[in-house]
Structure 1
Amino acid sequence: MNSTASQSLLGTEDAAPVMVVNPKGASSFLLIGDHAGNAVPQALGSLGLSDTDLSRHIGWDIGIGELGALLAERLDAVFVRQTYSRLVIDCNRSPSQPDLIAEVSDATVVPGNAALDDAARAARFAEIHTPYQAAIADEIARRDAAGMATVLVALHSFTPAMQGALRDQDRPWHIGILHDGGDTAFAHALLDVLRQEADLVVGDNQPYRMDLIDYTIPRHAYPERRPYAEIEVRQDLLGSTDGCSAWADRLARLLPDALAKV
């Protein structure tokens, strides 16, 4: 199929595609969660997947919705978070990326993403991806107008193990800091303070590199050289409220320490 007719996706029964937690937060840190939710619009059913699959790491960044809300409270920061599963559309990918709407994720076939026509793809982009990115841009513009500083902190989590050839590997890191273009001074300062934590194994652009695949940080941080860091926490450390709370406590302590070093 290659239809170009307009096609609506979200109905009145569906949640808004983006949520802003603590919208009046006064902190210079702006927290963002590209993969914080795993909802699926009712029109898409379950994408042909089980609830178990949607709750796995392929469906979202496990723990990030809870971690982000707790960290926003501790820092008095704004947290802009995505509602829908990364399998509906990945809000950290550009429209040209082949895995924007993945047909296979970590060896799991996603039936509801097979052979989508142009209208179906456009509806997901217009109704989920675009509003999420616009909410981040609007919050930055609001802060700029108010004379507030902005340090972008993208919150992600990673699975301890991936399936498939060439992907099975030990992932010893508890946390990784990703960075590439733009102003990387804050990301490097955060790496420095994390390395002083004796109980942590810290990854520098591990377990992933920030590169041309990433979309949100390059879009919102690079052009104006805004300070940023993309944080990856291992998911088995965020599997409970206690785990999320402990990491929120740690990051609420270390993020300001890192910023003071820039």
Structure 2
Amino acid sequence: MDPAECLPAPVRILNGTGVSPYVLLCEHSSRFIPEEYKDLGLAAEDLTRHIAWDIGAANVAEALSALLDAPLVMAGYSRLLIDLNRPVGSATSIPEISESTVIPGNISLTPKERARRVALYFEPYQLAVRQLLDARRDAVRATTVVGVHSFTPVYKGVARPWHAGILHRYSNRFGHNLAQALGGPAKFIAENEPYQIEDDSDYTVPVHGEARGLDAVLVEIRQDLITHRDDAASWAARLAAALVSC
């Protein structure tokens, strides 16, 4: 068998015809790196860390898709090859360093290799999202974009106390309402923490949401709270109830 035939698809769509107004995107759902990249020169333990994927996010997203009957678009490859939630050409699109870890296999890449990763991994995912959103627009179906992510409990030595964060920019009303529905500050739910949406460091919200005039947010859950599948399912149920209430 040709080894290429064993490789995962760059994008996986679950429940593409779901009736929910929410479209779920999970850009960091996989840590898979093909053998040809030789783990990008990293140790095996590095490939299980947040730098390679969003731990627990895929389990939350899949459970949430089922609970809401919502379409879900998932990545097939690690964010270390190319980040699907970054503009092509940005400093963190193909990171040479992630958190405090140097990524040897991303150092001094040729323009040809960068273009190859865009063609193989980035563009197929974005095309699938565009086609899904176009189909819903043409069918005059209400749509809100929700990215599902996770974040580390500690970043560069600084503890992050939040249990989850709702990242929003122009969708202030929806983002605020969702954060409140999850319990707000009293339940350690923050707004625009631990990150903020920026054009040079985000793609999903600016391009698939705001540029289309759609409400769009990223949901960030602290990864130690969703590492186990049962915990991820509990968070999915909590998110589903909050989204339905919005």
Bigger helix share: 2
State the one-letter code of the partner of 1:126: A
2:62·2:72 contact (CA, 8 Å) conserved in 1?
Answer: yes
Query: Which residue of 2 is the match for residue 94 of structure 1?
Result: 87
| CA offset digits 1:150-178 (Å, max 9, x no partner) | 11001110000122xxxx32211001011
Query: Which residue of 2 is the match for residue 26 of structure 1?
Result: 19
Query: Which residue of 2 is the match for residue 246 of structure 1?
Result: 234
State the one-letter code of the partner of 1:169: V
- How far apart are 1:124 and its partner, in Å? 0.4
Residue-pair matches, total: 243
3-state SS of paired residue (1:84): coil
Q: Distance in 2 between the 1:86 and 1:247 partners?
A: 23
State the one-letter code of the partner of 1:141: D
| 2:52 paired residue among 37, 51, 59 | 59
2:42 paired with 1:49:
yes
Q: CA RMSD, aligned part only?
A: 1.5
2:196 paired with 1:214:
no
3-state SS of paired residue (1:54): helix
- How far apart are 1:195 and its partner, in Å? 2.9
State the one-letter code of the partner of 2:133: I
Query: Which residue of 2 is the match for residue 5 of structure 1?
Result: none
Query: Which residue of 1 is the match for residue 163 of structure 2?
Result: 174
Q: Distance in 1 between the 2:212 and 2:13 partners?
A: 23
- How far apart are 1:196 and its partner, in Å? 5.4
3-state SS of paired residue (1:31): strand
- How far apart are 1:197 and its partner, in Å? 8.5
State the one-letter code of the partner of 1:17: P
Q: Distance in 1 between the 2:210 and 2:129 partners?
A: 14
Q: Please, which moves more after superposition, 247-256 or 38-47?
A: 38-47
Q: Distance in 1 between the 2:155 and 2:176 partners?
A: 27
Query: Which residue of 2 is the match for residue 231 of structure 1?
Result: 219
Give structure 1 stretches of 5+ with no counterpart: 1-9
Percentage of identical aligned residues: 39
| 1:135 paired residue among 128, 139, 154 | 128
Q: Distance in 1 between the 2:44 and 2:159 partners?
A: 27
- How far apart are 1:180 and its partner, in Å? 1.4
Q: Distance in 2 between the 1:251 and 1:38 partners?
A: 24
Q: Distance in 2 between the 1:46 and 1:34 partners?
A: 19
Q: Distance in 2 between the 1:192 and 1:106 partners?
A: 30
State the one-letter code of the partner of 1:112: G
2:182·2:239 contact (CA, 8 Å) conserved in 1?
Answer: no
Q: Distance in 2 between the 1:194 and 1:238 partners?
A: 16
Q: Distance in 2 between the 1:64 and 1:196 partners?
A: 21
| CA offset digits 1:185-215 (Å, max 9, x no partner) | 21121122123585x2011111111112111
| 2:150 paired residue among 147, 157, 174 | 157
Q: Distance in 1 between the 2:165 and 2:184 partners?
A: 14
